[in-house]
Amino acid sequence: MNASTSRQPSDAAVPRLPLRAAAAVGLIAVAAALAAGHLVAALIDPFASPFLAVGNTAIDLTPHPVKDFAIRTFGENDKIVLLAGMAFVITAAAALAGLLSRRSALPGTVLAATLGVLGVAAVLTRPTLDTIAVLAPLTSLVVGVLVFRWLHRLARRTRVGEPGADESQPVESAGEPRTRAVDWSVPGLGRRRFLITSTAVAAAAGATAAAGQFVGGRVDVEASRRSIRLTPDVTAPPIPAGADFTGDGTPTFITSNADFYRVDTALSVPRLRAQDWRMRVHGLVDRELVLTYDDLLNRPLVEKTISLCCVSNEVGGPYISTTNFIGVSLRDLLTEAGVRPGADQLATRSADGWTCGTPVEDIMKPDSDALLAIGMNGEPLPAEHGFPVRMVVPGLYGFVSATKWLVDAELTTFADFDAYWVKRDWAQRAPIKTMSRIDRPKPFEQVPAGKFVAAGVAWAQHKGIDKVEVRVDGGPWQAATLSTEVNVDTWRMWRAELDLPAGSRTLEVRATDRTGYTQTSERAEPIPDGAAGRHTIVFTARP
């Protein structure tokens, strides 16, 4: 037995790849696969990018308790957490594919192909993607498998007789006569060639992904936004000085566009240009309408101050904001289309496939103020808030009324169509519940004992706030001072002067709306139609 055969006792047991080289083969192959798919997707539809498509599918398949937990725990960073989690899982799978393939390329090939098939399945099941979009994950699949096998081969074998080849290494007795195993313990051509090639492939993958990013980003949303000037025909009345109590700790009455809360299922913000925007109003109508952005600009533009809030908001939660929406009357549009008798639901769809169902009666009532909105605070809608066009219906939670990146509107019935969240056990109809929140003091804050001003917000969109009361340690209810009312569709601030004995204190708030309803202490979870109960906090009054 000579040295070479003792190192390679049988052909099946040619030397195993070192761990690092094996992992690198898997990682680089998967990176190349994702990058190639990303570039092809950019040419067809950026949403076909396998990474995005898998992420979006994951969001849609996530059971609602998990989604709720994600929104509660990570807030608006939930998508970053998801993407980071996916990146981690894919990196681990890629490294594993390599590590399982230290001898034979088969296990890694199977794992790489499986990742590719997942991408194909995700793209095929995305509601808004055409079948041709499957080319993107198919490219990933093919590139992934080919690059994996190619690098694997390169790492295992080097060609015999090349200048600089490791002549010290014996040629294998069996199998391919023109190549022999790379001896990873000896620096030489095989090892160098693998390092150079794998680095080049990794760099190419990076360049391909960047090209995809560049091409996919060619829809210049910001240029489209900048080219638009909005001049409402009816402007919202100026916000009166006494509309907020920011000095006492409430939010500003108007939320800046940058601070406006954001909730949606879109992993990447749909990129639409105003000049390309079209929306069909169809279904149970007398006349179908097809609208362009210019059609909207040519209609009377109204500006209206409205507080939008999210059904996922916990009692005391942050998902409510207020803005001057600019848009056209949705009631006028539907009147023009002619709503057929029996149509009780307006089903709307977003560019990314998200759907929403709104009661027709809420849109059609004389004072509804439902808008096809195109602006917020004097500017065209920011991309993440639905540019170019979204819907807003005062008095309804966002998930049943506020479709962003709106592209389709169909008059139908609640019996015939279930929207995105209704399929996931949320309510079909969800008017906003009367609610109040304490903003100062914060839970567990230490404040001076004695005179102290507590403050917060209350809302009962479309009904109006009549009264807010607070009480300390379950004592008598005390009326809070309300800010100047802007309109019944916005929040209203409150402040209350307290006299606090030193020690641990509990503060509770309740609002009464203009229908005479007062918030009860009965708690309800956000699902299915919004949280209920009184915001109650514990804090400390310091002597």
Ligand X SMILES: Nc1nc2c(c(=O)[nH]1)N[C@H]1C(S)=C(S)[C@@H](COP(=O)(O)O)O[C@H]1N2
109 vs 307 by CB, closer to ligand X? 307
Task: Select the span of 200-208, 298-306, 310-318, 406-414 touching Mo ion (CB under 5 A).
Answer: 310-318
Phi, psi of 469 (to 5 degrees): -130, 150
Instruction: State the minimum distance, in angstroms, from the CB of residue 232 to ligand X.
Output: 19
- Cβ neighbours of residue 246 closer than 8 Å, sequence gap 6 or more: 252
- Kind of pairing between the strands at 406-412 and 278-283: parallel
**Rg value, the chain, Cα:** 30
- Number of residue whose CB is nearest ligand X: 398
Q: Is 355 helix (H, G, I), strand (E, B) or coil?
A: strand
- Cβ neighbours of residue 415 closer than 8 Å, sequence gap 6 or more: none
Residue 494 DSSP symbol? E
Omega within 30 of 0 (cis) for the link into 137: no
- Integer CA distances (angstroms), 143 to 26, 138, 278, in order: 12, 8, 37
Q: Under the criterion CB under 6 A, does residue 412 sit at the interface with ligand X? A: no
Instruction: State the minimum distance, in angstroms, from the CB of residue 209 to Mo ion.
Output: 32
Instruction: State the minimum distance, in angstroms, from the CB of residue 81 to ligand X.
Output: 17
Residue 247 DSSP symbol? G
Virtual torsion, Cα 223, 229, 235, 241, nearest 10 deg? 60
Query: What does the alpha-carbon distance between residue 297 and residue 295 come to, in Å, rounded to a whole number?
Result: 6
Which of 67, 102, 404, 495 contacts ligand X by CB under 6 A? 404
Task: Select the span of 156-164, 331-339, 400-408, 529-537 touching ligand X (CB under 6 A).
Answer: 400-408
Q: Under the criterion CB under 5 A, does residue 310 sit at the interface with Mo ion? A: yes
105 vs 531 by CB, closer to Mo ion? 531
Binding mask 351-370 for ligand X (x = CB under 6 A): -x-x----------------
Query: What does the alpha-carbon distance between residue 325 and residue 385 come to, in Å, rounded to a whole number?
Result: 11
Which of 51, 253, 293, 399 contacts ligand X by CB under 6 A? 399
Task: Select the span of 180-188, 256-264, 324-332, 450-458 touching ligand X (CB under 6 A).
Answer: 256-264
- Number of residue whose CB is nearest Mo ion: 310
- Cβ neighbours of residue 209 closer than 8 Å, sequence gap 6 or more: 31, 34, 35, 38, 39
Sign of CA dihedral 229, 234, 240, 244: negative
Q: Under the criterion CB under 6 A, does residue 483 sit at the interface with ligand X? A: no
Task: Select the span of 9-17, 266-274, 304-312, 487-495 touching Mo ion (CB under 5 A).
Answer: 304-312
Binding mask 325-354 for ligand X (x = CB under 6 A): -------------------------x-x-x
Which of 50, 98, 283, 398 contacts Mo ion by CB under 5 A? 398
Query: What does the alpha-carbon distance between residue 345 and residue 428 come to, in Å, rounded to a whole number?
Result: 10
Which of 148, 253, 399, 539 contacts Mo ion by CB under 5 A? 399
Q: Which does 405 bind (CB under 5 to 8 A by kind): Mo ion, ligand X, none?
A: ligand X
Helices (H), 306-353: 330-337
Instruction: State the minimum distance, in angstroms, from the CB of residue 349 to Mo ion.
Output: 17
Amino acid at 188: G
Instruction: State the minimum distance, in angstroms, from the CB of residue 15 to Mo ion.
Output: 58
Instruction: State the minimum distance, in angstroms, from the CB of residue 402 to Mo ion.
Output: 8
Structure tokens at 467: 């009264």
Q: Which helix (H) or strand (E) holds 240?
A: none
Task: Select the span of 32-40, 48-56, 261-269, 275-283 touching ligand X (CB under 6 A).
Answer: 261-269
Sign of CA dihedral 526, 377, 490, 391: negative
Structure tokens at 244: 């907020």
C-alpha angle with apex 29: 23 to 30, nearest 5 degrees? 90
Query: What does the alpha-carbon distance between residue 243 and residue 281 come to, in Å, rounded to a whole number?
Result: 38
Among residue numbers 251 through 280, which ones bind Mo ion (CB under 5 A)?
Answer: 263
Q: Under the criterion CB under 6 A, does residue 431 sit at the interface with ligand X? A: no
Q: Under the criterion CB under 6 A, does residue 371 sit at the interface with ligand X? A: no
Residue 219 DSSP symbol? S
Instruction: State the minimum distance, in angstroms, from the CB of residue 124 to ligand X.
Output: 21
Among residue numbers 263 through 302, which ones bind ligand X (CB under 6 A)?
Answer: 263-266
Q: Under the criterion CB under 5 A, does residue 527 sit at the interface with Mo ion? A: no
Q: Which does 413 bind (CB under 5 to 8 A by kind): ligand X, Mo ion, none?
A: none
Q: Is 316 helix (H, G, I), strand (E, B) or coil?
A: coil
Which of 345, 358, 403, 434 contacts ligand X by CB under 6 A? 403
8 vs 345 by CB, closer to ligand X? 345
Structure tokens at 308: 């939008």
Which of 260, 325, 426, 459 contacts ligand X by CB under 6 A? 260
Instruction: State the minimum distance, in angstroms, from the CB of residue 185 to Mo ion.
Output: 60
Query: What does the alpha-carbon distance between residue 465 and residue 492 come to, in Å, rounded to a whole number?
Result: 7
166 vs 529 by CB, closer to ligand X? 529
What is the binding site for ligand X (CB under 6 A)? 260-266, 308, 310, 350, 352, 354, 385, 398-399, 402-405
What is the binding site for Mo ion (CB under 5 A)? 263, 310-311, 398-399
